[in-house]
Amino acid sequence: MSVEIIPVASSRELRQFIDLPWRIYNATDYPQWVPPLRIAVRDALDRKANPFYKNAERELFLAMRDGRPVGRIAAIENRAHNQFHKDRVGFFGFFECVNDQEVANALFAAAEGWLKQRGLETMRGPTNPSTNHECGMLVGGFGRHPMIMTTWNPRYYPALVENAGFGKAKDLLAYFFPMQGDRAFEMPERVKALAQRALVGKQLAFRDLNLKDFKNEVDRCWEIYNDAWEPNWGFVPMSKESFFHEAQVLKYIVFPQFTFMAEVNGEPAGFMIIVPDFHHAFKAVGNGRLFPTGLFKLLAAKKKLKTGRIMILGAKSEYRNRGIFALFAAEMFRRGKEFGALGAEASWILEDNEKLNKPLEAMGAKEYRRWRIYDRSISRA
């Protein structure tokens, strides 16, 4: 039977959209897949409650065959991106699909049609819903379950996208640092020496973020974030409201000793956030629902988590060329070993971000996972 594409217009269809991954994945065929929390997916799509949509719009589509959903996609107009970059890019995200090129093609055609109506010229993705959120399609490193707030997809997904006419726009990398056992990572002496020589004549100190002074700490981090990432490809400054919205989620899942700031002569210079890998707990929840028992499983799991993701590492522009990343790395390893951490993933890092990739490679870090963001021109015919 042919594929039917329907726009999501009812609460029932929205539930079908959110529930679709559970129709595609199962623990036998895809043991690496981590069921998301439904409440988090709903928040990422919520045009009323999520501040992202104050300067963006989206439309959701379901692919149906024989009355059953077999794919989904979101078409996203991120006005903040186009205002900042002065281009006409539209986005797709939340893509899930059975291994069927006809279904994938129909989904991309529906998203493109919606974007074309808005005068956009390129379709880019996946972004869920932006590059400040989960983004990228896994193209390398399928064998492990994904770290918290990163994406995982089956090996057939890139072929669906590329066969639909998309080409590579940019790759995002991940490195893993084991901290225990025979293969435990050790900071090279030359990096330690660099860290000791950095910022000569400056007083540098690390301190935990003060979660009791949450609003002011978030304000300080927001200023650093928008300054640190501005030169990067695809970056869009986050509004203070959006940044606070995302920070409120992190507040309840981070460990204080892994959210720390560097201050130079008493002034904020950079910050690092390492998020515990709650995906281990998400697997235990299974159905993605916090109630009636999911929340207790998450809380019980938190104290057992020994791996994490270096989700944010940013420094103000005046410090990025002065060895501060080596200092952050040294501080991270000191804290990690005291905690008894098993390891940490650093992601996402742009493939051409030499200011981060070169120091990581100099420390002996090896790429172990790769995601891709794709582009396709929108037909003007």
**Predicted TM-score of the model (pTM):** 0.93
What's the confidence (pLDDT) of residue 361?
Answer: 81
The answer on pLDDT for 322 being more than 70 is no
> Do 129 and 44 touch, CB atoms closer than 8 A?
yes
Please say if the pLDDT value at position 163 is more than 90. Answer: yes
- According to DSSP, residue 358 is labeled H
Collect all residues with Cβ–Cβ distance below 8 Å to 294 and sequence separation of at least 6: 37, 285, 287, 288
pLDDT of residue 85: 94
Q: Is the dihedral of CA 60, 65, 69, 73 positive or negative?
A: negative
Tell me, which fold does domain 177-372 have in CATH? Aminopeptidase (3.40.630)
Please state the CATH superfamily assignment of the domain spanning residues 4-169 in this structure: Gcn5-related N-acetyltransferase (GNAT) (3.40.630.30)
Q: Do domains 4-169 and 177-372 have the same CATH topology?
A: yes
Give the pLDDT band of residue 355 (cuts 50, 70, 90): confident
C-beta of residue 368 within 8 angstroms of C-beta of residue 175: yes
Which range, 23-27, 88-92, 246-250, has the best average confidence (pLDDT)? 88-92
| pLDDT above 70: residue 215 | yes
pLDDT digits (tens, 9 = 90+) for 95-113: 999 999 999 999 999 999 9
pLDDT at 156: 98
Q: In the predicted model, is pLDDT for residue 1 greater than 70? A: no
Per-residue model confidence (pLDDT) at position 260: 96
- Model confidence over 282-316: pLDDT tens digits? 888 888 888 777 788 888 888 889 999 999 988 88
Q: Summarize pLDDT for 333-352 with one digit per residue, the tens.
A: 889 989 999 999 999 999 99
187: CB partners within 8 A, 6+ apart: 329, 330, 333, 363
Residue 141 pLDDT exceeds 70: yes
Domain boundaries, the chain: 4-169, 177-372
Residue 354 is predicted with a pLDDT of 84
| Predicted local confidence at residue 381, as pLDDT | 64
**Confidence grade of residue 32 (pLDDT, cut at 50, 70, 90):** very high
Percent above pLDDT 70 for the chain: 97
CA distance 284 to 252: 19
Q: Are 199 and 322 in contact (CB under 8 A)?
A: yes
Structure confidence at residue 327 as a pLDDT band (50, 70, 90): confident
pLDDT of residue 204: 84
Q: What are the E-state strand segments in the chain? A: 4-7, 56-65, 68-78, 89-97, 122-125, 127-128, 134-135, 137-140, 167-178, 204-208, 259-264, 267-276, 307-315, 343-350, 367-377
More confident residue, 229 or 209: 209
Tens of pLDDT, residue by residue over 122-135, are 999 999 999 999 99
Whether residue 237 is predicted with pLDDT greater than 80 in this model: the reply is yes
From CA 358, how far away is CA 334, in angstroms rounded?
Answer: 21
How far is residue 68's CA from residue 57's CA, in Å, rounded to a whole number? 27
